[in-house]
Amino acid sequence: MKRLVSGLVVAMLVSVTVSGGGQQPPNVSGTWTAVKDVPTGIAAAPSPILGPKFALRQSGTALTITRARGDMSIEVTFELGGPEARMRVPGAVCAGDSHTIEKAAMEGSTIVFMRTGTVIPGGGPSLKLNVRTLLRLEAPDTLVVEGTLVQAGQPRQVATLYKRSTDPMPPLAPSLPAAKAAATIADVAWIGGTWTGVSATATTEERWTPPAGGVMIATAHTVRTANNTMASFEFLCIAERDGSLVYQAMPNARTPATDFFLTSVTPDAATFENPTHDYPKKIRYAKLADGSLETVTSGGEGSRTITVVLKKQ
């Protein structure tokens, strides 16, 4: 089975180093869309090496790269000749962010990008890589992107042709609010476990996994005491995002998830907020002195506040 070297298809451009002779990179500014034309003198890659389209913008010594990821884009600006750069790749729903580490150099008139490492969701040491991607301007409107294909354990060079295009890039991925609190998933590990609360009318349960891969995942449900029927259920998760945490709620499996952003964290409490949501606007988890877990959901001024205390099973 054919496959591209891991990370090749989703490789991100991160920096350009001008060679010692002072040669400047070719003008590659613009949006580039993959075409089906076969490159001259080299086999065509089975899929576009840098995705269906990407954009580059040069300004002096700065290079701005915009990469499409599904229905959003990631845009980063680097100084030409800069060192290795670590680039955040936002995770999907209930998945932590990952990072790539890359550098680049000029070899003649070719821009050579080198992915040297990757950091998986949840952090940890960088996984070392050695993946080269070459960009060569064949004509003012034609860019050849070359990479390595591994087939039956044997590497061979393949390429994709890109043409300048006026196609728009997807909108940029939203940034977390400035009021976010710095944290990792380990800071809320105490939420992990099975928690149950019993009242005169209902039993509520939340089951949280331990932290793993930059995320904790939960199911929650409430059962009426009178007739033993389920009143509601919810899928929940807490994921690492941009140096902070996002609480994602899917009541009754509703999608897309509603995001609540970490605004405060201590060793025994975490508060997540979304002021644009109707209700709730704030969700707070706190570890009480007796070891129980208190959850508080609240809205704006004049709205109700719901407090539930859960015992660990």
Q: What is the 3-state secondary structure (H, E, C) of 86-121?
A: EEEECCCCCCCCEEEEEEEEEECCEEEEEEEEEECC
Q: Is the peptide bond before 211 cis (omega within 30 degrees of 0)?
A: no
Confidence class of residue 23 from pLDDT cuts 50, 70 and 90? low
Between residues 43 and 112, the one the model is more confident about: 43
Q: How is domain 185-312 classified at the architecture level of CATH?
A: Beta Barrel (2.40)
Q: Residue 253 in 3-state DSSP?
A: coil
Equal fold, 3-165 vs 185-312: yes
Confidence class of residue 152 from pLDDT cuts 50, 70 and 90? confident
Is the pLDDT at 106 greater than 90? The verdict is no
Confidence class of residue 13 from pLDDT cuts 50, 70 and 90? very low
Q: CA 129, CA 156: separation in Å to the nearest integer? A: 17
Q: Are 99 and 119 in contact (CB under 8 A)?
A: yes
Q: What is the mean pLDDT of the chain?
A: 87
Confidence class of residue 125 from pLDDT cuts 50, 70 and 90? confident
Task: Indicate the pTM of the whole model.
Answer: 0.78
Per-residue pLDDT, averaged over 41-68, amounts to: 87
For tokens 């390595």, the residue is 148
The domain covering 3-165 belongs, at the CATH homologous superfamily level, to: Calycin beta-barrel core domain (2.40.128.20)
Domain range list for the chain = 3-165, 185-312
Please tell me which of 94-108, 169-183, 268-282 the model is most confident about, judged by mean pLDDT.
268-282
